[in-house]
């Protein structure tokens, strides 16, 4: 059955400015990172983390994202490289979004620990910004014609241009294919709206970033079935990573429902939802602040001797 209608346009893979050759894809990634960071800063301040503390961590995150994105792609496509030096030619393309997230979080996390900043508070502040960064970055993918997937009869598929037009992904002229970058953009926009709505109410630290991991991981599992990519056991590298994300993040949200004990490097207590158990168990003396616990400015009553009770007999 022929496709009655399909999206069709000529991608712009490179912008030539004199001797410079600029990729809209790279511009989209950079702008997405900056806009996402801008969305994160006020949320971090609300959690007691100043901008001066965040800026060095953003630098670490940017470096980690580049390393992680390239490393994850190379591991999944190691057979594509004839020389070890080709691995370092990032400008020729070949990066992984999930690898970029992992590298950014690992390197920035080391900085958080060194500076005594709560990992979960800052990652919660970052979660909506990460989603916004994906949305903006996918615009760059659409401009260059990247992440073109399998053939489809759907009316919103993308009709590949002629041989005289370059695309970032292989595409047979006239064939209508899934445009998975568009799907990711739309689904992540919904995820962004969800995160912004969820953060309106107090949540335990880690709730938002765990929600991002579980939901984005689930959508990537679905989307990658529509992609043409290297597969192992029927799954892409991103799908394998996403499955782990869904299990870990989704499992914690469903069963643990509290801030993980690791990463609370600021030493502060975390919010516990009504009915939940605070990290480390209930406070001594009862659930009320100060009950049974000496507080500053209050005298500690002298201990009293109680009459011993007679032994019980049964």
Q: Are 124 and 213 in contact (CB under 8 A)?
A: no
Residue 33 has pLDDT above 60, yes or no: yes
Q: Is 168 helix (H, G, I), strand (E, B) or coil?
A: coil
pLDDT band at 95 (very low <50, low <70, confident <90, very high): confident
Share of the chain above pLDDT 90, in %: 60
Cα–Cα dist 88/71, whole Å: 9
Name the one residue in this structure whose structure tokens are 């993980």. Answer: 260
Q: What is the pLDDT of residues 174-188, one digit of tens each?
A: 999 999 999 999 999
Lowest mean pLDDT among 89-93, 165-169, 205-209: 89-93
Name the average pLDDT for the chain: 85
Residue 136 has pLDDT above 80, yes or no: yes
Residue 306 has pLDDT above 80, yes or no: no
Both tokens assigned to 152: 């489809």
Lowest mean pLDDT among 41-50, 205-214, 232-241: 232-241
Residue 295 has pLDDT above 70, yes or no: no
Phi, psi dihedral angles at 232 (to 5 degrees)? -130, 125
pLDDT band at 75 (very low <50, low <70, confident <90, very high): confident
Phi, psi dihedral angles at 56 (to 5 degrees)? -60, -35
CA atoms within 13 A on the CB side of 178: 16
pLDDT band at 90 (very low <50, low <70, confident <90, very high): confident
Q: Residue 297: its pLDDT value, please?
A: 47
How far CA 113 is from CA of 41, 122, 208, in Å, comes to: 19, 11, 20
User: Which residues are 151's β-sheet partners?
Assistant: 177
Q: Residue 302: its pLDDT value, please?
A: 53
Mean pLDDT, residues 91-118 taken together: 91
Q: Residue 74: its pLDDT value, please?
A: 86
pLDDT band at 107 (very low <50, low <70, confident <90, very high): very high
pLDDT band at 72 (very low <50, low <70, confident <90, very high): confident
Q: Residue 91: its pLDDT value, please?
A: 67
Q: Residue 76: its pLDDT value, please?
A: 80
């Amino acid at each position: 059955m022929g496709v009655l209608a399909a999206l069709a346009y000529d991608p712009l893979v490179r912008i030539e400015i004199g001797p410079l050759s600029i990729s809209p894809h790279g511009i989209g990634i950079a702008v997405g990172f900056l806009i996402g960071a801008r969305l994160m800063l006020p949320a971090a301040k609300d959690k007691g983390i100043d901008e001066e503390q965040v800026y060095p961590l953003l630098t670490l995150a940017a470096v980690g994202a580049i390393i992680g994105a390239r490393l994850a792609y190379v591991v999944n496509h190691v057979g594509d490289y004839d020389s070890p030096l080709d691995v370092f030619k990032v400008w020729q393309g070949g990066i992984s979004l999930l690898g970029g997230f992992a590298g950014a979080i690992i390197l920035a996390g080391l900085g958080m620990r060194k500076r005594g900043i709560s990992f979960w508070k800052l990652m919660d502040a970052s979660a909506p910004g990460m989603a916004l960064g994906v949305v903006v970055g996918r615009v760059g993918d659409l401009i260059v014609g990247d992440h073109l997937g399998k053939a489809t009869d759907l009316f919103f598929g993308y009709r590949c241009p002629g041989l005289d037009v370059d695309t970032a992904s292989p595409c047979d002229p006239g064939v209508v294919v899934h445009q998975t970058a568009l799907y990711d953009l739309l689904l992540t926009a919904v995820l962004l709206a969800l995160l912004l709505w969820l953060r309106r109410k107090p949540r335990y630290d880690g709730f938002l970033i765990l929600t991002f991991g579980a939901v984005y991981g689930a959508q990537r599992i679905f989307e990658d079935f529509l992609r043409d990519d290297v597969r192992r056991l029927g799954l892409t590298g991103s799908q394998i990573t996403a499955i782990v994300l869904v299990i870990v993040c989704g499992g914690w949200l469903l069963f643990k429902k509290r801030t993980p004990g690791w990463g609370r490097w600021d030493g502060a207590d975390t919010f516990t939802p009504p009915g939940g158990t605070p990290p480390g168990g209930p406070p001594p003396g009862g659930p009320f602040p100060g009950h049974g616990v000496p507080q500053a400015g209050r005298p500690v009553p002298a201990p009293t001797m109680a009459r011993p009770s007679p032994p019980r007999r049964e």
